[in-house]
A = this chain, B = another copy of it.
Amino acid sequence: MGKNKKWVYARAFKGEPNSSNFDLVEEDIPALSDGEVLFEALYLSVDPYMRAYVNKLGGKTGFTMFGGQVARVAESRNKDYKVGSYVFGQFGWQLYTVGNPGFTTVFGTNEKPFVLPDFGDLPLSLALGVLGMPGNTAYFGFLEICNPKAGDTVVVSGAAGAVGSLVGQIAKIKGCTVIGIAGTDDKLNWLKNELNFDGAINYKTQNVPAELKKLAPNGVDCYFDNVGGELSSQVIYQMNKYGRISVCGAISSYNDSFTDVPKASIVQIPMVLNELRMEGFVVTRWQTRWMEGITQNLKWITEGKLQYRETVTEGFLKMPEAFIGMLKGETTGKAVVKV
C-alpha cells in the first residue's frame, strides 16, 4: 500500500495559530475491508470555524486536524461509492482516508461523505465554498435568520470572505441595499465594483460608525455578523426598530481564550430600545434542507447573479500556511488548498 500524509494538531493554539501547532505525520494506508472506501483528497478546506472549534475540545491535541475536503474515490469495496466519483467528506487534513462511511469525527458527530452533484463546467473545489458549507451558511443563515425584505439595508461584516461575499450578493438578489465591511481596499473595490455592493467600509482605516452613518442614513435593518466584538456593537447601535442580526461567527475573538474573551460595548441597550433580535447559528441545523441551498446557489451562478472567488494555495504541505493566512484576512473569497 501507499503512504498517507496528515497534519496533526499537535500543540494547542495560544493566540494566533502558527506552524508549530501542527506536525506532519506519514503513515501506511491500510488495505480495505469489505464495505470500505479509499478517498484521495483533491481540495482541502481551511475555514475560520476551525480556530474556534478546537476550543470546544477542551485542550485535546494529537488528532488529525478536522475539516472538509473534496476527494476522489480511489478504491472501493462499497457499492455506494464508485471508483472515480467525487465526494465531499469531513476527512480532515490528510491526503488519504479509509472510511466505512460513515465515521465518527473528533467531535463525536457521525459523518457520511456524500457524492457531489454534477457541477457542469464549474470546478470541484466549489464544493468547499459557494456550493458547499459556506454557500449554505450564507443562504440559510442570512435568509432564515435575517428574513430580509426588498428595500432593507443590510450590513455584512467579513464581507469579502467566503460567506460574507455571498451574503451580500444574495441580499442584492433580494432587493436590499448592501454595505460590506472588510479590511483592505482591494477587498472593498471587489465588493463595490464587481459584486455591486452599494457601499463598503474599511474597518482598519476608516471610522466605522461615521462611515456607516453616511452609507446607511436611515439605519440598518439586517446585520450578518462574521466578526463579533466592538465592530459589531458599532453596527448594532445603528440598527432600526425590529432589526435582525444573524451571528455566523466571531472571528475577531477566535484567537482569544474562551475564559478571557475580549470586551465590547454592551449590546443590550440597542437590543431593548429597538427591539432587535440576534441569533447565532451553525449551518448544520439545516442539514435536512442541504441540497436546497446548493441547488439555489448553483442556479444563481449559472444565471450570472452570484459570483464567487477562491484563493487557492497549491500543495498539501502548505495547509497550515493557508489556514494562518486566511485567519489573518489575507485571502479574498473562499480559501482552499489544492493537493
Contact = CB atoms under 8 A, between A and B. Distances in A.
**Centre residue among A225, A258, A261 by max chain B CB count within 10 A:** A261
Nearest to A277: B279
A228 interface: yes
Contacts of A275: 279-282, 285
A31 interface: no
A88 B270 CA distance: 28
A280 B264 contact: no
Interface residues of A, number: 36
A212 B103 CA distance: 36
Contact of A261 (B225, B265, B279): B265
Interface string A248-276: 11100100001001111111111111111
A48 to B, nearest CB: 11
**Centre residue among A237, A271, A277 by max chain B CB count within 10 A:** A271
**Centre residue among A247, A262, A270, A280 by max chain B CB count within 10 A:** A280
Interface string A174-211: 00000000000000000000000000000000000000
**Centre residue among A265, A275, A281, A282 by max chain B CB count within 10 A:** A265
A67 interface: no
A261 B247 CA distance: 22
A262 B263 CA distance: 9
List of 4 A-B pairs having minimum Cβ-Cβ separation, nearest first = A228-B268, A271-B280, A250-B268, A263-B263
